[in-house]
Amino acid sequence: MTKANNATIIQLKSFLAPHIPEQLLESLPKRWWFLGDIVLFSLPRELIPYGEIIGKAFLQVLSKPVRSVLGKIGPTTAIIREPQYHLLAGDPNTETIHKELGCLFKLDAAKLTFSPGNHGERTRLVQITSPGEIIIDMFSCVGNLSLPLAVNNSPKKLIAAEINPLAFHYLQENIQLNKVESIVEPVFGDNCTTLPRYRDVADRVLVGYLFSSEEQIRLAIRLCRDGGIIHYHEAVPNKATAVQRPINRIHNAAMLEKAAVTILSRRIVKKYAPGIEHIVLDVRISKK
């Protein structure tokens, strides 16, 4: 995520001053991020009617070459996590290749999520994963969390599940682009149907979806070998009454699976929405 420097904000405002009411200039985005050669930002509701000229201002003012400008005009929706972006200016072809952690991610930036706020978690996973591991990514998207592990950490095997046909298409392309075909096995469909056959094999299971069902948490536990680790993500209200909720869910699922769990850490990945945090628990699973 790029926090605007004052010079860029001043340039944006002076470009836009003749085109939008003065009081709205303060609502202009102050942060944006890049996916490949595409720039993205949240566009406040009151600026939606001025989206096209704001897009042109970004094309004009940013020092980095940018092909398309996308404004997020609503929340990411549905199980397949479809973001609501409008093309504000530039090339309507919003497919791009983003480079991060030595990895190439090809994706359509307008149709799929690749959160800049998860960069720290993507980096942390690369730092803590050992060579030779068997890893299962239950919610792969285009390989957001797990492809950097295939590229950097020499796992023995990485099984990547994805239900959205478009995300799965890019996942397959990215496996080839990064030349990790011999390591990564992409699995298309609902993880509750496709993954149960990998019972008791994983050193590490990535549960990188904020709204997993009890069935999916139990599945993550079943996929782990004795001593394996689950990285469990959840969107949690930061009220005292809710903070314990993800830990309770893990304990409940473990009890149903007759496994023991040790909570190794609880981290905030990012602010998800006002009063809601995206958290990740690292959990060791014991089965004996």
Ligand X SMILES: C[S@@+](CC[C@H](N)C(=O)[O-])C[C@H]1O[C@@H](n2cnc3c(N)ncnc32)[C@H](O)[C@@H]1O
Give residues in contact with ligand X (CB under 6 A).
Answer: 79-81, 113, 115, 118, 139, 141, 144-145, 161-164, 167, 190-192, 208-209
Q: Which is nearer to ligand X, 186 or 208 (CB)?
A: 208
Q: Least distance in Å: CB of 13 to ligand X?
A: 33
Q: Which is nearer to ligand X, 50 or 170 (CB)?
A: 170
- Measured CA to CA, the distance from residue 23 to residue 273 in angstroms comes to 25
Q: Which is nearer to ligand X, 141 or 250 (CB)?
A: 141
The percent helix, strand, coil of the chain (3-state, each to 5) is: 35, 35, 30
In the bound state, the residue with its beta carbon closest to ligand X is 208
Q: Which helix or strand (DSSP H or E) is residue 159 part of?
A: strand 157-162
Q: Least distance in Å: CB of 145 to ligand X?
A: 5
Q: Least distance in Å: CB of 233 to ligand X?
A: 7
Q: Which is nearer to ligand X, 80 or 243 (CB)?
A: 80
Q: Least distance in Å: CB of 186 to ligand X?
A: 11
Q: Which is nearer to ligand X, 75 or 227 (CB)?
A: 75
- Measured CA to CA, the distance from residue 137 to residue 162 in angstroms comes to 9
Q: Least distance in Å: CB of 33 to ligand X?
A: 14
- Measured CA to CA, the distance from residue 221 to residue 117 in angstroms comes to 26
Q: Which is nearer to ligand X, 88 or 121 (CB)?
A: 121
Strands 202-207, 224-237: pairing kind: parallel
Task: List Cβ neighbours of 145 (8 Å cut-off, separation of 6 or more).
Answer: 118, 121, 122, 125, 137, 206, 208
- Measured CA to CA, the distance from residue 285 to residue 274 in angstroms comes to 32
Q: Least distance in Å: CB of 98 to ligand X?
A: 12
- Measured CA to CA, the distance from residue 195 to residue 208 in angstroms comes to 15
How is 161-207 classified by DSSP, letter by letter? Answer: EE--HHHHHHHHHHHHHTT-TTTEEEEES-HHHHSGGGTT-EEEEEE
